[in-house]
Structure 1
Amino acid sequence: MGSMIHEFRSPIPNWFIKWKLKINAEKSQAILIGRKQDSVDGNITIEGQNIEWERDAKYLGVVLDKQLTWKKHLKTAIDKVRATTAKLYPLLNRRSQMSIKNKLLLIKTIIRPTLVYASTLWGYAAECHLNRFQATENKLLRMPIDAPWFVRNFQIYRDLEWEPLREFLTRKVAEDFEKAGRHSNEELRNLVNYTSEDLGPKKKRPRHQLAQ
Protein backbone atom coordinates (compact mmCIF):
# COMPACT_ATOMS: atom_id res chain seq x y z
CA MET A 1 0.00 0.00 0.00
CA GLY A 2 2.86 2.36 0.80
CA SER A 3 4.32 1.99 -2.73
CA MET A 4 0.91 2.67 -4.26
CA ILE A 5 0.55 5.84 -2.20
CA HIS A 6 4.05 6.95 -3.22
CA GLU A 7 3.26 6.29 -6.90
CA PHE A 8 0.07 8.33 -6.61
CA ARG A 9 1.47 11.29 -4.71
CA SER A 10 4.64 11.83 -6.78
CA PRO A 11 2.97 13.53 -9.80
CA ILE A 12 0.58 15.64 -7.72
CA PRO A 13 2.71 18.82 -7.37
CA ASN A 14 3.52 18.91 -11.10
CA TRP A 15 -0.14 18.37 -11.97
CA PHE A 16 -1.11 21.34 -9.80
CA ILE A 17 1.50 23.51 -11.49
CA LYS A 18 0.49 22.41 -14.99
CA TRP A 19 -3.15 23.32 -14.48
CA LYS A 20 -2.37 26.43 -12.42
CA LEU A 21 -4.18 25.16 -9.35
CA LYS A 22 -3.57 26.50 -5.86
CA ILE A 23 -4.37 23.95 -3.16
CA ASN A 24 -5.08 24.93 0.44
CA ALA A 25 -3.21 22.27 2.39
CA GLU A 26 -4.91 23.26 5.66
CA LYS A 27 -8.32 22.38 4.22
CA SER A 28 -7.20 19.19 2.47
CA GLN A 29 -8.01 15.71 3.75
CA ALA A 30 -6.83 12.23 2.79
CA ILE A 31 -9.08 9.20 2.95
CA LEU A 32 -8.63 5.64 1.70
CA ILE A 33 -11.96 4.26 0.52
CA GLY A 34 -12.64 0.54 0.23
CA ARG A 35 -14.10 -2.44 2.04
CA LYS A 36 -10.65 -3.88 2.69
CA GLN A 37 -9.05 -1.43 5.10
CA ASP A 38 -5.28 -1.86 4.78
CA SER A 39 -2.96 0.15 6.97
CA VAL A 40 -1.48 3.15 5.19
CA ASP A 41 2.26 3.78 5.31
CA GLY A 42 3.32 7.30 4.49
CA ASN A 43 1.45 10.55 4.11
CA ILE A 44 0.46 12.72 1.21
CA THR A 45 2.35 16.01 1.30
CA ILE A 46 1.15 19.28 -0.19
CA GLU A 47 3.46 22.28 -0.11
CA GLY A 48 5.56 20.65 2.60
CA GLN A 49 2.57 19.97 4.85
CA ASN A 50 1.51 16.42 5.70
CA ILE A 51 -2.14 15.62 5.06
CA GLU A 52 -3.46 13.37 7.80
CA TRP A 53 -5.43 10.26 6.91
CA GLU A 54 -9.03 10.56 8.08
CA ARG A 55 -11.85 8.10 8.73
CA ASP A 56 -14.23 10.40 6.91
CA ALA A 57 -13.97 13.51 4.75
CA LYS A 58 -16.40 16.19 3.65
CA TYR A 59 -16.55 17.17 -0.01
CA LEU A 60 -19.11 19.57 -1.50
CA GLY A 61 -21.39 19.04 1.47
CA VAL A 62 -21.23 15.23 1.29
CA VAL A 63 -19.56 13.26 4.11
CA LEU A 64 -17.59 10.32 2.70
CA ASP A 65 -16.70 7.52 5.10
CA LYS A 66 -14.02 4.89 4.50
CA GLN A 67 -16.44 2.14 3.50
CA LEU A 68 -19.09 4.35 1.88
CA THR A 69 -21.84 3.24 4.25
CA TRP A 70 -23.04 6.89 4.24
CA LYS A 71 -23.97 6.52 7.90
CA LYS A 72 -22.27 9.74 9.01
CA HIS A 73 -23.57 11.75 6.05
CA LEU A 74 -27.16 10.69 6.72
CA LYS A 75 -26.83 11.43 10.43
CA THR A 76 -25.42 14.87 9.60
CA ALA A 77 -28.33 15.55 7.25
CA ILE A 78 -30.88 14.50 9.87
CA ASP A 79 -29.22 16.77 12.45
CA LYS A 80 -29.43 19.69 9.99
CA VAL A 81 -33.11 18.96 9.37
CA ARG A 82 -33.85 18.91 13.09
CA ALA A 83 -32.07 22.25 13.54
CA THR A 84 -33.98 23.82 10.64
CA THR A 85 -37.27 22.39 11.87
CA ALA A 86 -36.68 23.90 15.31
CA LYS A 87 -36.20 27.33 13.73
CA LEU A 88 -39.34 26.97 11.63
CA TYR A 89 -41.45 25.44 14.40
CA PRO A 90 -43.38 28.69 15.08
CA LEU A 91 -44.60 28.51 11.48
CA LEU A 92 -45.07 24.74 11.20
CA ASN A 93 -46.84 23.84 14.44
CA ARG A 94 -50.59 23.26 14.56
CA ARG A 95 -51.27 26.59 16.30
CA SER A 96 -49.67 28.58 13.51
CA GLN A 97 -52.10 30.64 11.45
CA MET A 98 -50.30 29.65 8.26
CA SER A 99 -52.31 27.41 5.95
CA ILE A 100 -51.41 23.72 5.70
CA LYS A 101 -50.63 24.28 2.02
CA ASN A 102 -47.98 26.87 2.87
CA LYS A 103 -46.59 24.76 5.71
CA LEU A 104 -46.07 21.90 3.28
CA LEU A 105 -44.47 24.33 0.86
CA LEU A 106 -41.95 25.28 3.56
CA ILE A 107 -41.14 21.62 4.16
CA LYS A 108 -40.81 20.91 0.44
CA THR A 109 -38.66 23.92 -0.45
CA ILE A 110 -36.52 24.41 2.67
CA ILE A 111 -36.33 21.17 4.66
CA ARG A 112 -36.65 18.34 2.15
CA PRO A 113 -33.73 19.56 -0.05
CA THR A 114 -31.44 19.03 2.94
CA LEU A 115 -32.65 15.44 3.23
CA VAL A 116 -32.30 14.55 -0.44
CA TYR A 117 -29.09 16.45 -1.25
CA ALA A 118 -26.78 14.19 -3.31
CA SER A 119 -29.21 11.29 -2.89
CA THR A 120 -28.14 9.80 -6.22
CA LEU A 121 -24.87 8.94 -4.48
CA TRP A 122 -26.12 7.54 -1.17
CA GLY A 123 -29.57 6.22 -2.06
CA TYR A 124 -28.35 2.61 -1.90
CA ALA A 125 -27.41 2.92 1.79
CA ALA A 126 -28.54 0.25 4.25
CA GLU A 127 -32.25 0.01 5.02
CA CYS A 128 -31.70 0.99 8.65
CA HIS A 129 -30.24 4.35 7.57
CA LEU A 130 -32.91 5.03 4.95
CA ASN A 131 -35.67 4.12 7.38
CA ARG A 132 -34.39 6.80 9.76
CA PHE A 133 -34.65 9.28 6.92
CA GLN A 134 -38.23 8.27 6.19
CA ALA A 135 -39.11 8.47 9.89
CA THR A 136 -37.71 12.00 10.02
CA GLU A 137 -39.98 13.11 7.20
CA ASN A 138 -42.95 11.28 8.73
CA LYS A 139 -42.58 13.38 11.88
CA LEU A 140 -42.33 16.54 9.79
CA LEU A 141 -45.60 15.85 8.02
CA ARG A 142 -47.43 15.11 11.25
CA MET A 143 -46.47 18.46 12.76
CA PRO A 144 -48.59 20.85 10.63
CA ILE A 145 -51.75 18.75 10.88
CA ASP A 146 -51.20 17.55 14.46
CA ALA A 147 -51.92 13.97 13.41
CA PRO A 148 -52.71 11.65 16.36
CA TRP A 149 -50.62 8.55 16.89
CA PHE A 150 -53.22 6.15 15.47
CA VAL A 151 -53.27 7.80 12.03
CA ARG A 152 -51.10 5.74 9.70
CA ASN A 153 -48.39 7.36 7.63
CA PHE A 154 -49.85 6.16 4.34
CA GLN A 155 -53.08 7.96 5.20
CA ILE A 156 -51.16 11.20 5.72
CA TYR A 157 -49.39 10.82 2.37
CA ARG A 158 -52.68 10.15 0.66
CA ASP A 159 -54.59 13.02 2.26
CA LEU A 160 -51.77 15.53 1.74
CA GLU A 161 -51.02 14.21 -1.76
CA TRP A 162 -47.39 13.91 -0.70
CA GLU A 163 -44.86 11.67 -2.42
CA PRO A 164 -43.13 9.49 0.22
CA LEU A 165 -39.42 10.13 0.56
CA ARG A 166 -38.36 6.65 -0.59
CA GLU A 167 -40.48 6.93 -3.74
CA PHE A 168 -39.09 10.41 -4.37
CA LEU A 169 -35.51 9.12 -4.11
CA THR A 170 -36.17 6.26 -6.53
CA ARG A 171 -37.80 8.56 -9.07
CA LYS A 172 -35.00 11.11 -8.76
CA VAL A 173 -32.17 8.63 -9.29
CA ALA A 174 -33.97 7.15 -12.30
CA GLU A 175 -34.22 10.63 -13.83
CA ASP A 176 -30.56 11.37 -13.07
CA PHE A 177 -29.33 8.14 -14.65
CA GLU A 178 -31.54 8.67 -17.68
CA LYS A 179 -30.12 12.18 -18.21
CA ALA A 180 -26.54 11.02 -17.68
CA GLY A 181 -27.03 8.14 -20.12
CA ARG A 182 -27.83 10.50 -23.00
CA HIS A 183 -25.39 13.26 -22.06
CA SER A 184 -22.99 14.59 -24.70
CA ASN A 185 -20.00 13.84 -22.45
CA GLU A 186 -18.80 10.30 -23.20
CA GLU A 187 -17.03 9.93 -19.84
CA LEU A 188 -20.26 10.69 -18.00
CA ARG A 189 -22.16 8.18 -20.14
CA ASN A 190 -19.56 5.53 -19.36
CA LEU A 191 -19.87 6.16 -15.61
CA VAL A 192 -23.52 5.11 -15.61
CA ASN A 193 -23.18 2.33 -18.17
CA TYR A 194 -23.64 -0.62 -15.83
CA THR A 195 -26.45 -2.57 -14.18
CA SER A 196 -26.95 -3.61 -10.57
CA GLU A 197 -26.43 -7.23 -11.68
CA ASP A 198 -22.93 -6.48 -12.99
CA LEU A 199 -21.44 -6.15 -9.51
CA GLY A 200 -23.53 -8.55 -7.46
CA PRO A 201 -25.38 -7.90 -4.18
CA LYS A 202 -22.32 -7.15 -2.02
CA LYS A 203 -20.67 -4.48 -4.19
CA LYS A 204 -23.30 -1.81 -4.34
CA ARG A 205 -23.20 1.32 -6.43
CA PRO A 206 -25.78 4.10 -6.94
CA ARG A 207 -27.80 2.20 -9.56
CA HIS A 208 -28.56 -0.51 -6.99
CA GLN A 209 -31.19 1.73 -5.41
CA LEU A 210 -33.37 1.24 -8.49
CA ALA A 211 -33.54 -2.47 -7.64
CA GLN A 212 -34.37 -1.99 -3.95
Structure 2
Amino acid sequence: MTAPSSRPLESWNSPLNRLQRVLDLLPEWLDKWRMAVNVGKTVALLIGRRVAVPPLRLRGQEIEWKTHVTYLGCRIDRSLRMVPQANHAINMAKAARAVLRPVLTSRLPLRTKLAVYKTYIRSRLTYAMPAWYGLCSQHTRQRIQVQQNISLRVLTGAGRYVRNDVIARDVKLQSIEDFVAHTARRMYDKADHGPQSHLWNIAPLHARPPDRSGRALPR
Protein backbone atom coordinates (compact mmCIF):
# COMPACT_ATOMS: atom_id res chain seq x y z
CA MET A 1 0.00 0.00 0.00
CA THR A 2 1.42 3.35 -1.01
CA ALA A 3 1.58 6.29 1.35
CA PRO A 4 -1.04 8.46 -0.40
CA SER A 5 -3.59 5.64 -0.42
CA SER A 6 -2.90 4.75 3.20
CA ARG A 7 -3.49 8.25 4.55
CA PRO A 8 -7.31 8.16 4.38
CA LEU A 9 -7.35 4.84 6.23
CA GLU A 10 -4.91 6.13 8.83
CA SER A 11 -7.01 9.25 9.34
CA TRP A 12 -10.01 7.06 10.17
CA ASN A 13 -8.22 4.74 12.59
CA SER A 14 -7.86 7.15 15.50
CA PRO A 15 -11.50 8.34 15.77
CA LEU A 16 -12.80 4.84 15.04
CA ASN A 17 -10.67 3.38 17.81
CA ARG A 18 -11.97 5.99 20.23
CA LEU A 19 -15.55 5.26 19.21
CA GLN A 20 -15.02 1.54 19.61
CA ARG A 21 -13.53 2.00 23.09
CA VAL A 22 -16.63 3.96 24.12
CA LEU A 23 -18.90 1.25 22.70
CA ASP A 24 -16.92 -1.39 24.59
CA LEU A 25 -17.60 0.47 27.86
CA LEU A 26 -21.25 1.14 27.07
CA PRO A 27 -22.73 -2.29 28.02
CA GLU A 28 -21.47 -2.00 31.59
CA TRP A 29 -23.08 1.43 31.95
CA LEU A 30 -26.33 0.21 30.38
CA ASP A 31 -26.49 -2.78 32.72
CA LYS A 32 -25.80 -0.58 35.74
CA TRP A 33 -28.72 1.71 34.92
CA ARG A 34 -30.92 -1.16 33.70
CA MET A 35 -31.23 0.19 30.20
CA ALA A 36 -31.43 -1.78 26.97
CA VAL A 37 -30.30 -0.92 23.45
CA ASN A 38 -31.65 -2.61 20.34
CA VAL A 39 -28.37 -3.09 18.50
CA GLY A 40 -30.22 -4.23 15.40
CA LYS A 41 -31.78 -0.77 15.10
CA THR A 42 -28.60 1.11 16.01
CA VAL A 43 -26.76 2.80 13.15
CA ALA A 44 -23.72 5.05 12.82
CA LEU A 45 -23.85 8.23 10.75
CA LEU A 46 -21.05 8.74 8.24
CA ILE A 47 -20.36 12.45 7.70
CA GLY A 48 -18.35 13.80 4.79
CA ARG A 49 -16.94 11.84 1.86
CA ARG A 50 -18.19 8.32 1.36
CA VAL A 51 -15.28 5.97 2.03
CA ALA A 52 -14.92 2.36 3.12
CA VAL A 53 -15.02 2.46 6.92
CA PRO A 54 -14.49 -0.57 9.16
CA PRO A 55 -17.64 -1.49 11.10
CA LEU A 56 -18.14 -0.73 14.76
CA ARG A 57 -19.38 -3.39 17.16
CA LEU A 58 -21.69 -3.28 20.17
CA ARG A 59 -22.35 -6.38 22.26
CA GLY A 60 -20.68 -8.45 19.57
CA GLN A 61 -22.94 -7.19 16.77
CA GLU A 62 -21.89 -4.97 13.90
CA ILE A 63 -23.33 -1.45 13.72
CA GLU A 64 -24.29 -0.44 10.21
CA TRP A 65 -22.84 2.75 8.73
CA LYS A 66 -25.38 4.99 6.98
CA THR A 67 -25.26 8.29 5.16
CA HIS A 68 -28.57 9.48 6.63
CA VAL A 69 -30.46 8.72 9.82
CA THR A 70 -33.69 9.74 11.54
CA TYR A 71 -33.28 10.80 15.16
CA LEU A 72 -36.20 12.03 17.26
CA GLY A 73 -38.14 12.76 14.10
CA CYS A 74 -35.32 14.73 12.44
CA ARG A 75 -33.73 13.50 9.23
CA ILE A 76 -29.97 14.04 9.37
CA ASP A 77 -27.91 13.62 6.19
CA ARG A 78 -24.17 13.13 5.84
CA SER A 79 -23.63 16.69 4.57
CA LEU A 80 -25.34 18.15 7.66
CA ARG A 81 -27.18 20.60 5.41
CA MET A 82 -30.51 19.25 6.74
CA VAL A 83 -32.10 19.32 3.29
CA PRO A 84 -34.05 16.05 3.85
CA GLN A 85 -35.45 17.42 7.12
CA ALA A 86 -36.38 20.71 5.48
CA ASN A 87 -38.11 18.87 2.62
CA HIS A 88 -40.04 16.76 5.12
CA ALA A 89 -41.11 19.82 7.12
CA ILE A 90 -42.21 21.62 3.95
CA ASN A 91 -44.23 18.61 2.77
CA MET A 92 -45.90 18.31 6.18
CA ALA A 93 -46.83 22.00 6.11
CA LYS A 94 -48.19 21.69 2.57
CA ALA A 95 -50.34 18.70 3.54
CA ALA A 96 -51.73 20.47 6.62
CA ARG A 97 -52.49 23.61 4.61
CA ALA A 98 -54.30 21.60 1.93
CA VAL A 99 -56.52 19.94 4.53
CA LEU A 100 -57.22 23.22 6.33
CA ARG A 101 -57.75 25.37 3.22
CA PRO A 102 -61.56 25.48 3.71
CA VAL A 103 -60.96 26.83 7.21
CA LEU A 104 -58.29 29.30 6.14
CA THR A 105 -60.49 30.71 3.36
CA SER A 106 -63.65 30.84 5.47
CA ARG A 107 -65.24 33.90 7.09
CA LEU A 108 -63.82 33.08 10.48
CA PRO A 109 -62.13 35.99 12.29
CA LEU A 110 -58.57 36.58 11.17
CA ARG A 111 -57.36 36.02 14.72
CA THR A 112 -58.92 32.54 14.71
CA LYS A 113 -57.40 31.62 11.36
CA LEU A 114 -53.98 32.79 12.53
CA ALA A 115 -54.33 30.57 15.59
CA VAL A 116 -55.20 27.64 13.31
CA TYR A 117 -52.11 28.34 11.20
CA LYS A 118 -49.81 28.56 14.22
CA THR A 119 -51.21 25.40 15.79
CA TYR A 120 -51.49 23.04 12.83
CA ILE A 121 -49.22 24.36 10.06
CA ARG A 122 -46.36 26.31 11.61
CA SER A 123 -45.90 23.68 14.30
CA ARG A 124 -45.22 21.09 11.60
CA LEU A 125 -43.00 23.43 9.60
CA THR A 126 -40.83 24.36 12.59
CA TYR A 127 -40.67 21.01 14.39
CA ALA A 128 -37.38 20.90 16.36
CA MET A 129 -36.18 23.75 14.15
CA PRO A 130 -33.96 25.46 16.76
CA ALA A 131 -31.77 22.35 16.56
CA TRP A 132 -31.30 22.27 12.79
CA TYR A 133 -32.28 25.61 11.23
CA GLY A 134 -28.79 27.06 11.71
CA LEU A 135 -27.34 24.31 9.49
CA CYS A 136 -29.57 25.18 6.53
CA SER A 137 -28.38 27.17 3.55
CA GLN A 138 -29.95 30.51 2.69
CA HIS A 139 -31.80 28.88 -0.21
CA THR A 140 -33.33 26.27 2.10
CA ARG A 141 -34.35 28.95 4.60
CA GLN A 142 -36.09 30.87 1.82
CA ARG A 143 -37.99 27.73 0.80
CA ILE A 144 -39.19 27.34 4.38
CA GLN A 145 -40.23 30.99 4.61
CA VAL A 146 -42.21 30.64 1.37
CA GLN A 147 -44.53 28.16 3.10
CA GLN A 148 -45.47 30.75 5.71
CA ASN A 149 -45.90 33.41 3.03
CA ILE A 150 -48.32 31.19 1.12
CA SER A 151 -50.31 30.35 4.25
CA LEU A 152 -50.66 34.01 5.24
CA ARG A 153 -51.73 34.95 1.72
CA VAL A 154 -54.38 32.22 1.75
CA LEU A 155 -55.87 33.07 5.15
CA THR A 156 -55.91 36.83 4.53
CA GLY A 157 -57.12 36.64 0.95
CA ALA A 158 -54.53 39.25 -0.03
CA GLY A 159 -54.16 40.17 -3.67
CA ARG A 160 -51.23 39.08 -5.78
CA TYR A 161 -49.68 42.55 -5.76
CA VAL A 162 -49.50 42.81 -1.96
CA ARG A 163 -45.97 42.16 -0.69
CA ASN A 164 -45.35 39.27 1.68
CA ASP A 165 -43.66 41.48 4.27
CA VAL A 166 -46.67 43.82 4.23
CA ILE A 167 -49.02 40.90 4.94
CA ALA A 168 -46.84 39.66 7.79
CA ARG A 169 -46.61 43.17 9.24
CA ASP A 170 -50.39 43.68 9.10
CA VAL A 171 -51.13 40.39 10.88
CA LYS A 172 -48.22 41.01 13.29
CA LEU A 173 -46.54 37.68 12.61
CA GLN A 174 -42.76 37.35 12.79
CA SER A 175 -40.73 35.61 10.11
CA ILE A 176 -39.71 31.98 10.49
CA GLU A 177 -36.12 33.00 11.23
CA ASP A 178 -37.21 35.43 13.96
CA PHE A 179 -39.60 32.85 15.38
CA VAL A 180 -36.85 30.22 15.59
CA ALA A 181 -34.43 32.70 17.19
CA HIS A 182 -37.06 33.72 19.75
CA THR A 183 -37.90 30.09 20.53
CA ALA A 184 -34.25 29.13 20.98
CA ARG A 185 -33.52 32.19 23.13
CA ARG A 186 -36.51 31.45 25.35
CA MET A 187 -35.45 27.82 25.68
CA TYR A 188 -31.91 28.71 26.72
CA ASP A 189 -33.11 31.44 29.09
CA LYS A 190 -35.43 28.94 30.74
CA ALA A 191 -32.54 26.50 31.18
CA ASP A 192 -30.18 29.20 32.49
CA HIS A 193 -32.67 30.34 35.12
CA GLY A 194 -34.04 26.92 36.02
CA PRO A 195 -33.32 24.85 39.13
CA GLN A 196 -31.09 22.35 37.27
CA SER A 197 -27.60 23.79 37.68
CA HIS A 198 -26.07 21.37 35.16
CA LEU A 199 -28.12 23.08 32.42
CA TRP A 200 -26.88 26.57 33.21
CA ASN A 201 -24.89 28.11 30.36
CA ILE A 202 -25.15 24.82 28.47
CA ALA A 203 -24.80 26.58 25.11
CA PRO A 204 -22.81 29.81 25.58
CA LEU A 205 -22.86 32.24 22.68
CA HIS A 206 -19.42 33.39 21.58
CA ALA A 207 -18.58 36.08 19.06
CA ARG A 208 -17.24 34.49 15.89
CA PRO A 209 -13.80 35.64 14.71
CA PRO A 210 -13.52 37.42 11.36
CA ASP A 211 -12.75 35.38 8.27
CA ARG A 212 -9.63 35.73 6.13
CA SER A 213 -10.92 38.86 4.44
CA GLY A 214 -11.27 40.58 7.81
CA ARG A 215 -15.07 40.61 7.59
CA ALA A 216 -16.80 39.69 10.84
CA LEU A 217 -18.95 36.59 10.46
CA PRO A 218 -22.57 36.63 11.70
CA ARG A 219 -23.23 35.06 15.07
Same fold (TM over 0.5): yes
Segments of 5+ residues of structure 2 without an aligned counterpart are 1-11
Question: For residue 66 of structure 1, what is the aligned residue in structure 2?
Answer: 78
Shift of 1:192: 1.0
Post-superposition Cα deviations, 1:125-156, rounded to whole Å, max 9, x if no partner, equal 22111111111100011112222221001211
> 2:56 maps to what in 1?
44
- Higher-Rg structure is 2
- The offset of 1:100, in angstroms, is 2.6
- The residue number in structure 2 matching 1:20 is 34
Match for residue 188 of structure 2? Answer: 177
Instruction: Give the share of equivalent positions with the same residue, in percent.
Output: 27
Q: Aligned residue for 2:124? A: 114
Could you list the runs of 5+ residues in structure 1 that have no partner in the other structure?
A: 203-207
RMSD: 2.6
Q: 1:122 & 1:25 partners in 2: Cα distance?
A: 26
Q: 1:158-177, aligned counterparts within 5 Å?
A: 158-177=169-188
Secondary structure (helix, strand or coil) at the match of 2:158 reads coil
Structure 1 runs of 4+ off > 6 angstroms?
none
Counterpart code for 2:192? G
**Residues 130-145 of structure 1 mapped to structure 2, 5 A cutoff:** 130-145=141-156
Q: What TM-score does the superposition give when structure 2 sets the normalisation length?
A: 0.78
- Kindly tell me the number of residue pairs found equivalent between the two proteins: 200
SS class of match (2:200): helix
How far has the Cα of 1:49 moved from its partner? 4.1
In structure 2, relative to structure 1, the CA distance for the partners of 1:160 and 1:76 (3 Å cut) is same
* Closer/same/farther in 2, CA of residues 63 and 179 from structure 1, 3 Å limit: same
Q: Does 1:102 align with 2:102?
A: no
1:113, distance to aligned residue in structure 2 (A): 1.2
Q: CA contact under 8 A between 2:90 and 2:125: conserved in structure 1? A: yes
Q: Which has the higher contact order (CA 8 A, sep 6+)?
A: 1
